[in-house]
Structure 1
Amino acid sequence: MIKGIRKVIWAEGMFLGQQHFQAWDRYYETYQNLQARSISPLSWGLLDFQIDREALGNAQFRVVKCQAMFPDGRLISYDASDDAPLVMNLEGGYAEKLEIYLCLPSNRSASGINGYRNNGQLCAWEADYRRVTDENDPAREREVMLARPNLLLLDGSESRESFTSIRIAEIVAEGDGTYTLVEDYIPPLVRIGASEYLQALVLRMVELFSAKVRVLNERRKQVSAAAADFGHSDVSDFLVLQALSGAIPLLQHIRSNPELHPERLYELLARIIGSLCPFSFEIDVHSVERYRHNELTRVFSGLEKQLRALIDTAMPTRLKALTLNREADSLYSIDNIDSAMLADHTFFLSVYSEMDDPMWVAHFERKVKAGARADIEMIVASALPGARLTHTPRPPSKLPIKSGYEYFRIEPRGDFWERIVSERTLGIFLPHEFMRVKMEIVTLQE
């Protein structure tokens, strides 16, 4: 066997033998493989893959269709409608969980060649004699010997020392003689479209990012009538919006082009994680999942977990849609407040007034009454203080601040607050001088 890369030299008068064409074939296979690997080092794995899921119920793993590039650069194409069955029988003796490998013998030999004796080894190729017509004259036909890949399916416990292989699936025994596919297993891929799970992950990310962008845009509209404006307290929302909005068109591109390599998806998701890492003390840029072509399940499940955690950190569930019901010019109320919200949210009154006298803020803090809805008339009639209101000149940065509004925190302590919690209602009484103010209620999760 010739070692290294040696190009065949053609010259006049040479006596042609099959060795010339074998060496020529070997040189160009090696040349093309090295050229492809220099451009895309991870260009091995599945291009197309389909199994018979019903066969798993009969304790068989049956491949229907497969195109794959093996780690050694050899390309195979299998179709059950034209090729011999590619099946692994799963009856008896197998572990609860099986790793299944698609294997091709590492040698370059072919078996079944007329006039050649079989040396007894398992060959990579089998001779397949076909009648082939001339492309320019269909009437001219000749028998051509083609190479059919001698593919095998082995489980993870069997030796693959003499094979080049790809782990194509994982299955789990159900205990009744049947098996099911591990749906979230992602084999090494050349194309994203070869994995249904990875395509579903892309769709999940599109839906997640789109939903979060809608929430952020809605917050932005609530904060300011000018939809494109951001206040100083909204910078974090803007950064999240910028990261997710920029990713959606690229995710849509990947979804529309399933022939793209999974590394393209990794690069995009890793970049988004990197842009969101400043929001978290637990996940930093050095803890982002590294790309490992033969461990794509771990890579992409880790990325999805990190992305969801970072988005939850950057966008905590802090705003609840509570609406003040105006019962009269001086009386507002809310019924059926969620107990969980009362337990871990701070309540703020957001108030806008056109009064020129800045002292209105102090008067509002002192004169406006808050309490459980059933108690509010008694609080007013008895001149009781009710739940305490505290003006907050510098509201928390995570609170959506509206220009011109003042914020008053309803202090979560005291008997009147306890009544609000037990009744799950809130009543607000406004003296006559404040009947023209605009008032909303917002909450912030602690």
Structure 2
Amino acid sequence: MQVSKRSVHWEEGGFVTPHHFQASERYLQDRLRETEDWLIPNCYGVSSIRFDQSALMTGVLKILECKIRLKEGTTIEIPEESQIIEISVDEIRKVMGQDRRVRVWIGVPHLKEGQKNIYDSDNRDARYEMRMLAAIDENTGEKEDIAFRFLRPSLQPDGSSKGLELLPVCQLKLSDKYEGQFEIEPSYVPPLLDLNSWGWLKESVKWIHDRIEASIETESQSLAGVNLTFESSIEGRGIRILRLNHLSSGWTTLQSMLNGRMVHPQNIYTELCRLLGQLSIFGETRKPPKLRSYDHDDIGPIFQSVLSEIRKLLEGIGLPEYERHPFVFLQKDGKLKRPYRVSLDPKWEASTYSLYLGLETTGVPHNEVDEIIRKTNYKMGETSRVSELFRLGLPGLVVKPLDRIPRELGGIKNTTLFSIERSGSEWIEVQRTHDLGFWFENRSLKLGEGRKLVLEHPQTKKDVPLEFALYVTHDRGGTRS
């Protein structure tokens, strides 16, 4: 009979030993774990994790921080509740297969009922180690040393290790660039509790979100001011209305989920399947493909499948003639704490791409927006350097008003456009990190709603809210002059 399945019978005058308290604690813990498993499907996996990339280059896989729940319900928090754990790649190399890949697991020894579970020289595979820590009486403030139990997690290069609760946390592969070195394979996804904990997966979903956003921008502008009816005499308008409806529905759902604090991958997978079903009417077969059911232990392949199908459909819809990427900022107490920045795609370095800065506002003529930016004290350059460029007065990137609006950007409203000169030493720095940032003199601006900055009109002295965005066009016919 499993003792933890029974609640302790407390009675007046009973002789109490540590066994009573341990049995009571195990009962409560097991009831809580069972309730979580019954009510919340797939409630195990990685909630957050951070590896030491520099240590991996020297031959050690090390977890600096993590929050993980194992299948059995055990939670691991590093460094709050356990020490930083590591494993040598020499141990990993011993179990490497012909595919030059090794899956690495985090493990915790099982609780052995009826046996000793505290680590010592005679019990090296114990679940816990004991440490003395000072505890403060909350009423009197008096201090006393108390013995606490700490879990003893470890990294294992073999998922068949006996006597351990195990969960895969990453997959290593031999690097193609650096002979003999291992690197973490981003496309392998362990069981997750939060999409945000695995960068490759989140960025893959974010790409779909951004691609849909760009399509919505183009479709909505072409339909702005149009009487929305499917019985239109204009060929294809009904299809475009339906397409915009499905794109908008999928985008708003993805936006709310991607901006959430925690997103379980099963929820986002369900929404991606729904989006695929809605867009399938625009594919060649007019019907959705067969997809695998959600598999919490095989997240990577199922996501790759649905994301690949969505990409195909989006390619069929067609690319917009431009991409729009808003600048974002971090604020604290109403002040800009980091540069107003945007990430660049490396492919935009090609001469067939052109980059433009767009300042979006309403009710202000283009020439006045031009004057506002010219008379504002700012610097534009590589994000990590731009504040120093500003402080030292060093040259940054130059933006110039456009004499002629490019055809691809002709339909954009309420936006003043500037060309970004891609030359000089600072552009080389931007190419190195693919990160472009603005830095402003703090007294020159205020922070507005959303992504907007509020600059002062040099003549009227009124506040003008501006949203900064990077516009990218691509000449598919050849090189731009």
CA 1:36–1:93 in 2, change beyond 3 Å: closer, same or farther?
closer
CA 1:211–1:289 in 2, change beyond 3 Å: closer, same or farther?
farther
Taking the aligned partners of 2:111 and 2:130, their CA distance within structure 1 comes to 15
Comparing 228-237 and 92-101, the one that deviates more: 228-237
> 1:110, 1:125 within 8 Å by CA — same for their partners in 2?
no
Give the alignment of 1:3-152 within 5 angstroms: 5-79=5-79, 83-91=82-90, 92-95=93-96, 96-108=100-112, 111-112=117-118, 120=123, 122-138=125-141, 140-152=142-154
Taking the aligned partners of 2:286 and 2:51, their CA distance within structure 1 comes to 38
**Equivalent AA in structure 2 for residue 90 of structure 1:** V
CA 1:110–1:56 in 2, change beyond 3 Å: closer, same or farther?
farther
The residue aligned with 1:257 is: 260
Percent identity between the two aligned chains: 18
The residue aligned with 1:153 is: 155
Taking the aligned partners of 1:268 and 1:16, their CA distance within structure 2 comes to 53
Taking the aligned partners of 1:236 and 1:196, their CA distance within structure 2 comes to 35
Give the alignment of 1:213-232 within 5 angstroms: 213-221=216-224, 226=226, 228-230=228-230, 231=232
Taking the aligned partners of 1:205 and 1:283, their CA distance within structure 2 comes to 20
The residue aligned with 1:162 is: 163
CA 1:21–1:286 in 2, change beyond 3 Å: closer, same or farther?
farther
Shift of 1:312: 2.9
* Structure 1 vs Structure 2 CA RMSD: 2.7
CA 1:318–1:202 in 2, change beyond 3 Å: closer, same or farther?
closer
Shift of 1:209: 1.0
**Structure 2 residue runs without a partner (length 5+):** 323-481
> 1:273, 1:288 within 8 Å by CA — same for their partners in 2?
no
Shift of 1:68: 0.8
> 1:131, 1:141 within 8 Å by CA — same for their partners in 2?
yes
Taking the aligned partners of 2:41 and 2:270, their CA distance within structure 1 comes to 15
> 1:111, 1:118 within 8 Å by CA — same for their partners in 2?
no
**Equivalent AA in structure 2 for residue 59 of structure 1:** G
1:302 aligns with 2:305: yes
TM-score using structure 1 length: 0.63
- Secondary structure in structure 2 of the residue aligned to 1:61: strand
Taking the aligned partners of 2:73 and 2:245, their CA distance within structure 1 comes to 41
- Secondary structure in structure 1 of the residue aligned to 2:236: helix
> 1:110, 1:147 within 8 Å by CA — same for their partners in 2?
no
> 1:110, 1:126 within 8 Å by CA — same for their partners in 2?
no
Taking the aligned partners of 1:185 and 1:136, their CA distance within structure 2 comes to 50
Give the alignment of 1:27-426 within 5 angstroms: 27-79=27-79, 83-91=82-90, 92-95=93-96, 96-108=100-112, 111-112=117-118, 120=123, 122-138=125-141, 140-156=142-158, 159-174=160-175, 176-221=179-224, 226=226, 228-230=228-230, 231=232, 233-280=236-283, 284-285=287-288, 287-313=290-316, 315-316=317-318
Taking the aligned partners of 1:173 and 1:87, their CA distance within structure 2 comes to 18
**Equivalent AA in structure 1 for residue 137 of structure 2:** D
> 1:190, 1:261 within 8 Å by CA — same for their partners in 2?
yes
CA 1:162–1:285 in 2, change beyond 3 Å: closer, same or farther?
farther
Taking the aligned partners of 2:109 and 2:241, their CA distance within structure 1 comes to 55
**Equivalent AA in structure 2 for residue 294 of structure 1:** D
CA 1:23–1:3 in 2, change beyond 3 Å: closer, same or farther?
closer
Shift of 1:4: 6.7
- Secondary structure in structure 2 of the residue aligned to 1:127: strand
Taking the aligned partners of 1:196 and 1:243, their CA distance within structure 2 comes to 27
**Structure 1 residue runs without a partner (length 5+):** 321-446
CA 1:31–1:220 in 2, change beyond 3 Å: closer, same or farther?
same
**Equivalent AA in structure 2 for residue 164 of structure 1:** E
> 2:194, 2:262 within 8 Å by CA — same for their partners in 1?
yes
The residue aligned with 2:341 is: none
State the 4+ residue runs in structure 1 displaced beyond 6 angstroms: 317-320
> 2:130, 2:147 within 8 Å by CA — same for their partners in 1?
yes
**Equivalent AA in structure 2 for residue 263 of structure 1:** Q
Shift of 1:319: 9.9
- Secondary structure in structure 1 of the residue aligned to 2:7: coil
CA 1:317–1:151 in 2, change beyond 3 Å: closer, same or farther?
closer
Taking the aligned partners of 1:18 and 1:268, their CA distance within structure 2 comes to 50
Taking the aligned partners of 1:299 and 1:50, their CA distance within structure 2 comes to 24
- Secondary structure in structure 1 of the residue aligned to 2:8: coil
